[in-house]
């Protein structure tokens, strides 16, 4: 029987009190909250765009240097990897993207089609050519570099430096020294909790209306806040069951199942849809992304002032940074026995390929509907909103009822696995000495899942895509400082330890 970790009251109570207070305030002051949050989003995006751009590209270069340099063979602890490559990749894909990739792979290209970058004419052929390419860029290697960096630092801290717990505060010990065990370390862990809840709140805020629209279509139920709350309750039951089964039985089985379901749905769409167009359009989109990778990485539109990179690229880098510390904690826990090179390439490879697959197929299918006139997707977005438009797109498929049912089930499991992984990490962060053989109690894990569900409901009550985006961007601001501390720690440790745990040739 596994030992249960004790509650860290200094971390738990401040984090809980602030989150619950903000959630209640959002619900009480709904009308004032939206314009206030929109102003915050605009201010951060326009003042910090260059910081997020340089940080993201810099992380990508750093990871390549580590992977193919002398540190690439440094292992995370002794022994063989805990999970095989497929299970490892499945957990990366599900925990990192969840329902978000299902939502954005259909909707995001249409936003770019209507409001393209670089001053292109809205609705033009050029805008259509760039629509999926930009989506693939946002969800590709750069995004997964943001996830991979904290992962390797946290894993190195836990397995190689033998720091006492799987917490971000311990991963910055190389930079802060003894202060990481004191109040400064506690504050860092509280910030990690806030960033994760805010980032996951974004995923929930997007995922719930999407699944709600699907259920409403399938069963003839009117989409409403009440229906969304019912969905959250069902999600909570799924995630509580998985959390009660534990990491190995719960998360791994749901993640593996969902990869098969996601692949099956993608294969169905590419076969039932315009196969030739999807494949050739993906090829063209991949080429555009590869050719313009540097331009897209540093695009701020300082002269034109159109706001595209601030509204999209900066938002995404901030959102991913907000949830990346969660990814770092979760992936580090399942990465024992792997080399730095193996970890980095698996995270970049599995994540990017999965994202590109969905954007290529679902984004390509949606663009084709718009271009051929089979469905006025942009008109649908304006008339019934994004979530219902996704269902309208799926309704054009053969056997659409089954496809939508499949899509809804997939969304349920995706979000359940994300909640499962996130609530476990939140409970671990707010506990004392969680590590090998020591787990947070089930009630603690379940509590965090319920708090995230409550926050998502408050965001749904306010409404608006900008509100959901602000939730992610605001909490990402202090994360930039944590990334700097992680970088200092890693460089210091690698320089001093060098070839410890190097893989045998």
pLDDT in tens, the chain (505 residues): 566 778 888 999 999 898 888 778 777 877 777 777 778 877 887 888 999 999 999 999 999 999 999 899 999 888 888 888 888 887 777 655 567 888 899 999 999 999 999 999 999 999 999 999 999 999 999 999 999 999 999 999 988 888 867 788 999 999 999 999 899 999 999 988 888 887 777 777 777 888 888 999 898 888 777 888 788 777 777 666 666 665 556 666 766 777 788 888 999 999 999 999 999 999 999 999 999 999 999 999 999 999 999 989 998 998 898 888 777 777 887 898 899 999 999 999 988 888 898 899 999 999 999 999 999 999 999 999 898 999 999 999 999 999 999 898 888 777 777 777 778 788 888 888 666 667 777 788 888 877 887 777 777 777 655 666 676 677 788 889 999 999 999 999 998 876 555 555 4
Residue 54 lies in a domain: no
Residue 46 within a domain: no
Distance of CA 8 to the CA centre of its chain: 26
Residue 304 DSSP symbol: T
Pairing of strands 3-4, 438-439: parallel
Structure tokens at 460: 């749904």
Asked if residue 33 belongs to a domain, the reply is: no
Residue 459: inside a domain: yes
pLDDT recorded at residue 410:
85
CA distances from 179 to 79, 399, 483 (A): 31, 60, 17
pLDDT the model gives residue 19: 82
The answer to whether the beta carbons of residues 259 and 90 sit under 8 Å apart is yes
Strand partners, 435: 438
DSSP helix/strand/coil, 6: strand
Among 259, 231, 210, which residue's Cα sits nearest to residue 393? 210
User: Which bin fits 498, alpha (ψ -120 to 50), beta or left (φ > 0)?
Assistant: left
pTM across the whole model: 0.90
**pLDDT at position 137:** 98
Quick one: 181 exposed, middle or buried, by C-beta within 10 A (0-12, 13-18, 19+)? middle
Lookup: tokens for 288: 């555009």
Token duo for residue 100: 């978000």
Residue 27 lies in a domain: no
Contacts of residue 477, Cβ cutoff 8 Å, sequence gap at least 6: 44, 48, 318
| DSSP secondary structure letter of residue 376 | -
> Burial, 61: exposed, middle or buried (Cβ in 10 Å; 0-12, 13-18, 19+)?
exposed
Q: What is the CATH number of the domain that holds 243?
A: 1.20.1730
Structure tokens, 2: 């596994």
Phi, psi of 438, rounded to the nearest 5 degrees: -120, 115
In 89-227, where do the E strands start and end? Answer: none
pLDDT value at residue 461: 72
Number of domains in the chain: 1
> Residue 257: which domain range?
59-496
Name 7's bridge partners: 431
C-alpha span between 169 and 11 (Å, rounded):
11
């Amino acid at each position: 029987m596994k030992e249960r970790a004790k509650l860290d009251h200094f971390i738990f109570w401040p984090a809980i009190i602030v989150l619950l207070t903000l959630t209640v305030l959002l619900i009480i002051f709904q009308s004032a909250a939206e314009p206030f949050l929109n102003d915050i989003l605009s201010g951060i995006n326009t003042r910090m765009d260059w910081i997020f751009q340089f940080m993201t590209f810099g992380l990508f270069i750093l990871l390549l240097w580590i992977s193919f340099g002398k540190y690439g063979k440094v292992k995370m602890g002794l022994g063989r990897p805990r999970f095989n490559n497929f299970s490892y990749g499945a957990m990366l894909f599900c925990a990192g993207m969840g329902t978000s990739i299902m939502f954005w792979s259909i909707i995001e290209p249409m936003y770019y089609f209507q409001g393209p970058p670089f001053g292109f004419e809205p609705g033009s052929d050029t805008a259509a050519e760039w629509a999926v390419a930009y989506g693939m860029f946002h969800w590709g290697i750069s995004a997964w570099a943001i996830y991979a960096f904290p992962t390797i630092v946290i894993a190195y801290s836990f397995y190689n430096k033998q720091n006492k717990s799987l917490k971000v505060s311990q991963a910055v010990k190389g930079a802060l020294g003894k202060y990481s065990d004191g109040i400064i370390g506690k504050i860092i862990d509280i910030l990690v909790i806030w960033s994760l809840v805010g980032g996951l709140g974004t995923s929930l805020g997007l995922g719930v209306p999407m699944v709600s629209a699907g259920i409403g279509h399938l069963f003839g139920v009117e989409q409403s806040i009440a229906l969304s709350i019912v969905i959250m309750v069902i999600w909570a039951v799924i995630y509580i069951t998985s959390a009660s089964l534990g990491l190995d039985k719960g998360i791994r089985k749901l993640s593996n199942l969902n990869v098969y379901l996601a692949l099956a749905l993608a294969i169905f769409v590419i076969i039932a849809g315009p196969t030739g167009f999807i494949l050739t359009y993906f090829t063209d989109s991949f080429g555009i992304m590869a050719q313009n990778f540097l331009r897209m990485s540093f695009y701020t539109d300082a002269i034109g002032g159109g706001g595209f990179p601030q509204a999209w690229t900066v938002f995404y880098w901030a959102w991913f940074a907000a949830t990346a510390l969660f990814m770092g904690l979760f992936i580090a826990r399942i990465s024992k026995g792997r080399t730095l090179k193996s970890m980095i390439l698996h995270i970049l490879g599995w994540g990017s390929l999965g994202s590109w697959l969905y954007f290529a197929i679902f984004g390509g299918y949606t663009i084709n509907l718009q271009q051929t006139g089979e469905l006025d997707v942009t008109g649908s977005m304006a008339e019934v909103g994004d979530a219902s438009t996704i269902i309208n797109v799926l309704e054009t498929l053969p056997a659409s009822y089954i496809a939508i049912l499949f899509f809804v089930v997939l969304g349920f499991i995706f979000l359940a696995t994300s909640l499962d992984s996130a609530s476990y990490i939140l409970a671990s962060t707010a506990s004392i000495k969680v590590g090998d053989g020591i787990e947070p109690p089930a009630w603690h894990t379940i509590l965090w899942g319920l708090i995230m569900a409550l926050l998502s409901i408050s965001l749904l009550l306010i409404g608006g895509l900008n509100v959901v985006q602000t939730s992610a961007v605001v909490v990402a601001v202090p994360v930039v400082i944590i990334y700097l501390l992680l970088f200092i720690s890693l460089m210091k440790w690698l320089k001093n330890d060098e070839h410890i745990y190097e893989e045998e040739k």
